[in-house]
Amino acid sequence: TNRISDTTVAYLNNWHYVLAAAAVDRWDGAKPQALQKAETDLWHASAVSNVRPSYVYLATADGRFVGVQRPLAGPALLKWREVGRQPRRQLYEIQAAGDRRQPVGVEPDPYNAVERPWFQRASESQDAVWSPVYLDHSLHQPMVTLARAYRHAQGPLHGEVSHVVGADVPLAYLQTFLQSLDIVPGGIAFIMSRDGKLVASSNATHALLPN
């Protein structure tokens, strides 16, 4: 149990390091090139993670969004939304920050991060917060999101949320780890969330995904 605890804590701490590497506390959303600066910060932050895939993103209170998603192999995916220009996020395959040579279209549905639970939950806290466990829409695997809100330090909006940075944390890694353990016959190791959802199990048939 100590080994399981240590591995789980180390894995979750990885994403705290990723958010810290983004340096978005010094990000100024009022500058003309603000999203480009955020993209560069997120590109570097996504490389800090020792886990793939990794997905790090920033959303502003006025609806802008930039996210860098690194797969297991191949080019990264940039998700981009500028307020007033495109309600749906534009998608690019990128090899480096600022790369726009490979547009891959737009998402089929409009997306406003301000309406997402992770944005709202982070906005209510002064610290980084974890979302409840949920099933990822595309991978259909258990996931949590780590997010932190940043506030205007001065001016008429002092104290109000400026932007939120987040990272999606795939929990399949913990499932793989538990299944690699040498457990006595008939024994099962498992990890549950605080609200009683089974996140991972050494017995694949018992690894029930949350609704």
> Where does 102-178 show beta strands of DSSP type E?
102-106, 129-130, 134-135, 142-151, 161-170
Helices then strands (H, E): number in the chain? 4, 11
Higher pLDDT, 12 or 32: 12
Decide if pLDDT at 139 tops 70. Answer: no
pLDDT digits (tens, 9 = 90+) for 142-179: 888 999 999 887 778 788 998 999 999 988 889 899 99
- Two tokens at 15? 């994403």
Residue 66: predicted pLDDT: 94
pLDDT, tens digit (0-9, with 9 covering 90-100), for 72-100:
888 999 999 988 667 899 999 999 999 88
Confidence of residue 9 (pLDDT cuts 50, 70, 90): very high
Would you say residue 7 has pLDDT above 90? yes
What's the mean pLDDT in 122-130?
93
Closest by alpha carbon to 164, among 125, 106, 134? Answer: 125
